[in-house]
Amino acid sequence: MLSKEVRSELLQIVGDKYFMDTENELYAYSYDSTPLFQSMPDAVVMPGSTEEIAAILKIANARRIPIVPRGSGTNLCGGTVPVEGGIVMNTNRLNKIREIDQDNLTASFGPGVITADLHAAVERLGLFYPPDPGSMRISTMGGNVAECAGGMRGLKYGVTKDYIMGLELVLPTGEILHVGGKNAKDVAGYDLTKLMVGSEGTLAVVSNITAKLLPLPETKRTMVAYYRSLTDAARTVQRVIAAKIIPATMEFLDQATMKVVEDFARIGLPCDMQAMLLIEQDGMEAQVERDIMRIEEIAYQEGAVEVRLAQTTDEANKLMAARRAALSALSRVKPTTILEDATVPRAHLAEMTEQVNVIAKKYNVQICTFGHAGDGNLHPTCMTDERDKEEIHRVEKAFEEIFHAAIKLGGTITGEHGVGIAKAGYLELKVGEAGIDLMKRIKAAFDPNGIMNPGKIFAKSDRRRVVVSKCECGHDETQHKHDDSKQSV
Amino acid sequence: MLSKEVRSELLQIVGDKYFMDTENELYAYSYDSTPLFQSMPDAVVMPGSTEEIAAILKIANARRIPIVPRGSGTNLCGGTVPVEGGIVMNTNRLNKIREIDQDNLTASFGPGVITADLHAAVERLGLFYPPDPGSMRISTMGGNVAECAGGMRGLKYGVTKDYIMGLELVLPTGEILHVGGKNAKDVAGYDLTKLMVGSEGTLAVVSNITAKLLPLPETKRTMVAYYRSLTDAARTVQRVIAAKIIPATMEFLDQATMKVVEDFARIGLPCDMQAMLLIEQDGMEAQVERDIMRIEEIAYQEGAVEVRLAQTTDEANKLMAARRAALSALSRVKPTTILEDATVPRAHLAEMTEQVNVIAKKYNVQICTFGHAGDGNLHPTCMTDERDKEEIHRVEKAFEEIFHAAIKLGGTITGEHGVGIAKAGYLELKVGEAGIDLMKRIKAAFDPNGIMNPGKIFAKSDRRRVVVSKCECGHDETQHKHDDSKQSV
């Protein structure tokens, strides 16, 4: 509970309209897209300017009140759940695209801008902002920066970090920093810009963003290849890269995922196949054509049963939409969908996928796998029922083993979703105790009082799983309330 | 002076052959490629393994002895001058390329690998490591990582930071961390890899490096365009980018630079011209041809007097070599060459170049400008004589104004050379007092005892200039010793 004094100070800063603390309002900010993590904040504020952010932070810092910066809350790691209460700071009002600089190929905008709106705005000018996380129609750029969002174009174009050139940020003290900028080269001191990207709201609040843009590729082609064997599909990915072709997108769906996607989207996927690859190449027409032909050749050489080139934009869009629907489709199958994010160096894709299957069999659990094959970024997804405690226990053991397998292959515990609270228990596997200690000291350099999104990244419990629960009362799953107590898991 | 005990401990770790502390040996490590900065170390060690690095750091950390990590010392910011004495740690023995992974498109190697050797090794396999700093035939990859080296291919391909995926590093405590790796996507905690790149040896010692590789472009074409006006050249750069063409290289030389380069290299530059652009495009042949034709068209539209396409690889190489010789050529003209590194968003190139000329006139000093036009990364270079105190004073005033001008245009004090000791006095201009304070706290998170390359990045004096002094005794300028005292400037 905030004191009367703090409440009135916050009200004075943002005004009546942008301060919320009724039970219903707090409820709406007690969860994000990571169901089963829920905790009530004490207040929600929606600052309208950098100065308001600074004023709020000063108050919170002086009184050691947690601040949870938040956009649309589409993250999958519990990253915006206010697990220690405090103030949720929704930055969605800062949603202006201030500038698209066609000479320097940069865009400057507030953290509240929706990712897809940025795409549309720059594409109208023939420019391109590549990162395209699954949630891009809802997610904000502030959230993308906080989580270092990835997407389907990571293979060729990289992730959010590769495009963020400058940030305005507000430290817990209320100090406003401008880091980076529009310079293609800049080595003036430590790179605070890249450090902020992926810091999950635990260091400072981002109040403005400058991103790098590219020329929009002239053309693109989309193709699918179907396989009787998972390994053939994975080997195709490897062979394409080894042939020195870097496609814009190389997505992978296994049979189980194909089946549920087909059931959901009805686009005629051949569900007797064991796997499919969805491949997109973009660029200059002659190059795209040549690459696509060579990829087709390699796919057949590696055992593809059928390779299909999308003949129209509409057909291409349908294929991409089907892939984008994979998680939604999977979450319809059983009451509880557990989604993970293990990532390996791309050459280990086949091995990792096989190990997921072996582990699933060993523990007798149902795991579908889809994801960004070109990045080695898998989304092994378990369909289960949280009410079956014995099965859930087996699921947990299975995922534990999947994580260890990824790490053994030189992989990581999270490729693009972030650590948040859902993966905090696994971080040590990747970075070791010394790595965690160092990261904690870096956090303290920004946030000595520990007010910035406390309880995230660094484990307080051994809770290690993202559990997507299917709501039984007819609500949309992200609206479902599981528990009223703080920090329910 | 090291105590007998420390000396014997170090000797035990690296052995007789790799411990140096005779007067001559210390002398050789008292300077780097940034003349006029010199200071004697107390010892030089050349560890042969990560474990030896750890053992040395433990001793130094316990006794608060400065550690200056160093490769070939080709930096231009005084970054490896042991300004507080202590131990210079030369990591050049760690010069193995451990692996070139053709499936994951990564290379893994020690910090002592020479940049050009890495280029050659990966290019033999049809792969590509783009960053190509001017010193690449001598510089080590450890040094490139420490300074976040740039080069001529920054416009299209980015800088060192964009290619470093993973590092093994040793903290002052001797703890060995593995950060990042071969994963195309990895958001497990704060990005310590990118934080280390460009940290100038002030945080930890890098003992192994994993870099991203690209497929080697199939072909490249080189062209030059000559201009009667600086502004026309700068406008060409802007128009090419606005036409959504991103050349691999867009280098700029003004008339004064052309003259001395021609005098040095005799390649037939038309020295009645005011400026030239050296442009290279690479990629698939059809695309390269189309881009080069369009660039030629734009160059003529913007007032180029002549555009010449290199007809042979040999001709192309000669043109590029001439550009690479610019600094050497300039430093022959007068006893003292003062080289700066102001960088602006690329659209401000014309404005910045004009301001450099106005400022040079105002202070009656001779400044040539060349550099990476596509990146807005200028190297305004002053030819003067350090014995003329009155002129040096005007030169200092001129550069002071150039830096302020760059910052006003949204630029930065250093694009690719690093802060070191030479630019420490300017850092606040770019990042502000709060930025410096935050960076100091981050340093303390890695290095609480302040043993890592002390005196760098953060100003202790207001010394702000890189002065390249021409040796009068016939030695190569980088071998010249200016002063025996510690921290001479």
Q: What is the pLDDT along chain B (489 residues), one digit of tens a residue?
A: 899 999 999 999 999 999 999 999 999 999 998 867 899 999 999 999 999 999 999 999 999 999 999 999 999 899 999 999 999 999 999 999 999 999 999 999 999 999 999 999 999 999 999 999 989 999 999 999 999 999 999 999 999 999 999 999 999 999 999 999 999 999 999 999 999 999 999 999 999 999 999 999 999 999 999 999 988 999 999 999 999 999 999 999 999 899 999 998 888 899 999 999 999 999 999 999 999 999 999 999 999 999 999 999 999 988 888 888 888 888 888 888 888 888 999 889 889 988 999 999 999 999 999 999 999 998 999 998 878 989 988 988 898 899 899 999 999 999 999 999 988 989 999 999 999 999 999 999 999 999 999 999 998 744 444 444 443 333 333 333 333 333 222
Question: Where on the phi/psi map is residue A228: left (φ > 0), alpha (ψ -120 to 50), or beta?
Answer: alpha
The three-class DSSP label of residue A262 is helix
Pairing verdict, β B87-90 and B67-70: parallel
pLDDT value at residue B146: 98
CA distance A136 to A151: 9
CA distance A120 to A114: 10
CA distance B46 to A107: 46
Could you say which of A185, A412, A446 has the minimum Cβ distance to residue B188? A412
CB pairs below 8 Å between A and B: how many?
271
CA distance B305 to A168: 43
The three-class DSSP label of residue A265 is helix
Pairing verdict, β A87-90 and A67-70: parallel
B103 CB neighbours in chain A (<8 A) are 238, 241-242, 345-347
The three-class DSSP label of residue A432 is helix
B188 touches chain A (CB under 8 A): yes
The three-class DSSP label of residue A281 is strand
The pTM assigned to this predicted structure is 0.93
Domain ranges of chain A: 4-92+440-479, 97-215, 220-417
Could you say which of B155, B181, B182 has the minimum Cβ distance to residue A184? B155
CA distance A67 to B308: 60
pLDDT value at residue A35: 64
Residue of B nearest to A441 (CA): B445
For A379, B246, B263, B269, B320, the CA distances from B314, given in Å and listed in that order, are 50, 24, 20, 16, 10
What is the CATH T-level fold of the domain A97-215, as seen in this structure? Answer: 3.30.465
Radius of gyration of chain B measured on its C-alpha atoms = 22
Pairing verdict, β A304-309 and A87-90: unpaired
For B17, B53, B342, B420, the CA distances from B47, given in Å and listed in that order, are 10, 6, 36, 23
B346 CB neighbours in chain A (<8 A) are 103-104, 184
CA distance A333 to B295: 56
Evaluate whether A175 touches A218 at the Cβ level (below 8 Å): no
pLDDT value at residue B60: 98
pLDDT value at residue A422: 86
CA distance A47 to A54: 9
A439 CB neighbours in chain B (<8 A) are 189-190, 192
* N-term to C-term CA, chain A: 21
CA distance A88 to A125: 35
Interface of B with A in 15-44 (CB under 8 A): none
Tokens 């910035």 belong to residue:
A452
The residue type at B105: L
Interface of A with B in 355-414 (CB under 8 A): 372, 374-377, 410-414
Write out the DSSP string of A204-248.
-EEEEEEEE-EEPPSEEEEEEEEES-HHHHHHHHHHHHHTT---S
pLDDT value at residue A154: 92
CA distance A262 to A271: 8
Burial class (CB in 10 A: 0-12, 13-18, 19+), B419: buried
Residue of A nearest to B126 (CA): A244
Burial class (CB in 10 A: 0-12, 13-18, 19+), A17: exposed
CA distance A431 to B192: 10
Q: Which two tokens stand for residue B458?
A: 């953060």
State whether A438 and B430 contact (CB < 8 Å): no
Pairing verdict, β B377-384 and B304-309: unpaired
pLDDT value at residue A479: 34
Nearest to residue B225, comparing CAs of B200, B205, B204, B247?
A: B247
B183 touches chain A (CB under 8 A): yes
Q: What's the gap between Cα B240 and its chain centre?
A: 26
State whether B188 and A414 contact (CB < 8 Å): yes
Evaluate whether A250 touches A291 at the Cβ level (below 8 Å): no
Residue of B nearest to A426 (CA): B188
Residue of A nearest to B236 (CA): A103
Residue of A nearest to B214 (CA): A244
For A81, A88, A472, the CA distances from A481, given in Å and listed in that order, are 13, 18, 11
Nearest to residue B236, comparing CAs of B158, B349, B319?
A: B349
CA distance A182 to A180: 7
**Residues whose CB is less than 8 angstroms from the CB of residue A83 and which lie 6 or more positions away in sequence, other chains included:** A37, A39, A421, A454, A455, A456, A486, A487
Could you say which of B162, B244, B419 has the minimum Cβ distance to residue A188? B419
The residue type at A50: T
ipTM: 0.93
Secondary structure, 3-state, A139-185:
CEHHHHHHHCCCECCHHHHCCHHHHEEEEEEECCCCCEEEEECCCCC
pLDDT value at residue B396: 83
CA distance B302 to B255: 18
Domain over B4-92+440-479 is classified CATH 3.30.43.10? yes
Tokens 């992200």 belong to residue:
A478
B442 touches chain A (CB under 8 A): yes
CA distance B442 to B191: 13
CA distance B298 to B296: 6
The H-or-E segment that residue A299 falls in is: helix A285-301
Q: pLDDT under 50 in chain A at which residues? A: 461-489
Q: What is the DSSP letter of A383?
A: E
CA distance A161 to A131: 9
- Beta strand residue intervals within A39-141, DSSP E: 43-45, 67-70, 87-90, 97-101, 106-109, 127-128
Tokens 């030239």 belong to residue:
B276
The three-class DSSP label of residue A77 is coil
Q: Which two tokens stand for residue B362?
A: 């105002």
Top-tier CATH class for A220-417: alpha beta
B235 CB neighbours in chain A (<8 A) are none
CA distance B457 to B454: 9
**Residues whose CB is less than 8 angstroms from the CB of residue A445 and which lie 6 or more positions away in sequence, other chains included:** B438, B441, B442, B444, B445
pLDDT value at residue A476: 36
